[in-house]
Amino acid sequence: MLDGKKTLFSGMQATGTITLGNYLGALKNWLDLDKEYECFYSVVDLHSITVRQDPAELRKRARNLLMLYLAAGLDPEKNCIYYQSHVSAHAELGWILNCFTYMGELNRMTQFKDKAAKHADNINAGLYTYPVLMAADILLFQSDVVPVGADQKQHLEITRDIANRFNAIYGDVFTIPEPYIGKQGAKIMSLQDPTKKMSKSDENPNASIILLDDTDTIIRKFKRAVTDSEAIVRYSDDKPGISNLMTIYSTMTGKTYEEIEREFDGKGYGDFKLAVGEVVANGLKPIQDRFYELSKDKAYVDGIIKNNAEKANYYARKTLRKVQKKVGFPEMPR
């Protein structure tokens, strides 16, 4: 809660171009929430350097991600869209919260275990304390709600634990946030291995639909999607490939699984895969068009970056100052 208004925070990493999973699990659910909440959406570049990045590439991807937020339909007048690195309070609160987080808690984080296994040559302390920085992101804005995909649930739980611990010592400092996980699309799976989540960092380019993929690429990737040999479009736990495609189709069209089963009754997987590809390509096209328009308007995007960073800084520093006072840091003498 900020200034009497319910608040919301979410963010994405710019470690690659975002996927259809990021879109359906998070970004698509962000649209319209500005009616009810004061919304903050960050490009979380501090988180990105927990794995090694090429600086020029990171800068480019981060700007593209910010433009994709806008292109997807977030109105920058009503949503505060900014780079995490422009608001130093994230790192400052992150440090303080590190001192209120136990190693035992961090040891349980599955995302750390996964990433450590993947980047065995660079298991740095930042990767380990990543969830604490994420807690700082959320608590800095006194967020009531955090719209994310299902994979972030554990990070939301530790955020709540840290906030409750801090509040138990110092009084009501932080709003305790709730996760907001969409009913559908919360976990979009890889097109090549439907037991694994679709991920920006997948090495197999056919595994993920990238938000900027062109129509032909999208259709080709869906055609190659791994399914099963039953050849009946039916939602079932033992048909993860088809079920994933049905989830994508359903989330894009609003049709229920029963409606989709009826629509493709008697038809083969070829027809269904083509239909999914077309629905996704048509759904992403306006976002892509807007993205390329924005790419040409440097001054407009720069203006948004500057204004929104100022707004984010204003609110972030307010919470940070409150926390600093509570833990006993002195005021700067006037």
Among 322, 319, 288, 316, residue whose Cα is nearest residue 80 = 316
11 binds ligand TYM (CB under 6 A): yes
**What x-and-dash track marks residues 24-53 binding ligand TYM by CB under 6 A?**
-xx-----------------x--x------
Q: Which of 186, 279, 312, 316 binds ligand TYM (CB under 6 A)?
A: 186
CA distance 62 to 333: 38
Q: Which of 80, 198, 246, 309 binds ligand TYM (CB under 6 A)?
A: 198
247 binds ligand TYM (CB under 6 A): no
Query: Is the Cβ of residue 52 or residue 298 nearer to ligand TYM in the bound state?
Result: 52
From the list 19-27, 160-168, 274-282, 307-315, the region that binds ligand TYM by CB under 6 A is: 19-27
CA distance 216 to 325: 57
Task: Please confirm, yes or no, whether 197 is among the known catalytic residues.
Answer: yes
**What x-and-dash track marks residues 117-146 binding ligand TYM by CB under 6 A?**
-----------------x--xx-------x
DSSP alpha helices (H): ranges in the chain?
20-22, 28-30, 45-48, 55-72, 89-98, 103-107, 110-118, 125-140, 153-170, 215-223, 240-253, 257-263, 269-295, 298-327
Mark residue 4 as left, alpha or beta (left: phi above 0; alpha: psi -120 to 50; beta: remaining): left
CA distance 80 to 235: 38
Task: Please confirm, yes or no, whether 115 is among the known catalytic residues.
Answer: yes
Radius of gyration of the chain from its Cα atoms, rounded to whole angstroms = 21
From the list 4-12, 52-60, 91-99, 236-244, the region that binds ligand TYM by CB under 6 A is: 4-12
93 binds ligand TYM (CB under 6 A): no
Helix (H, G, I), strand (E, B) or coil at 211: coil
22 binds ligand TYM (CB under 6 A): yes
80-106 burial, b for 16+ CB within 10 Å, e for fewer? bbbbbbbbebbebbbebbbebbeeeeb
Least distance in Å: CB of 197 to ligand TYM? 4
For residues 240 and 195, the answer to whether their CB atoms sit within 8 Å is yes
Q: Which of 7, 8, 9, 249 binds ligand TYM (CB under 6 A)?
A: 9
Q: Kindly give, in sequence order, each residue whose CB lies less than 8 Å from that of residue 33, ignoring residues fewer than 6 positions away.
A: 8, 39, 145, 147
Q: Which of 188, 211, 233, 305 binds ligand TYM (CB under 6 A)?
A: 188
Least distance in Å: CB of 297 to ligand TYM? 25
Supply the residues annotated as catalytic. Answer: 115, 197, 200
Which residues of this protein are in contact with ligand TYM, per CB under 6 A?
9-13, 21-22, 25-26, 44, 47, 134, 137-138, 146, 148-149, 151-152, 186-188, 197-198
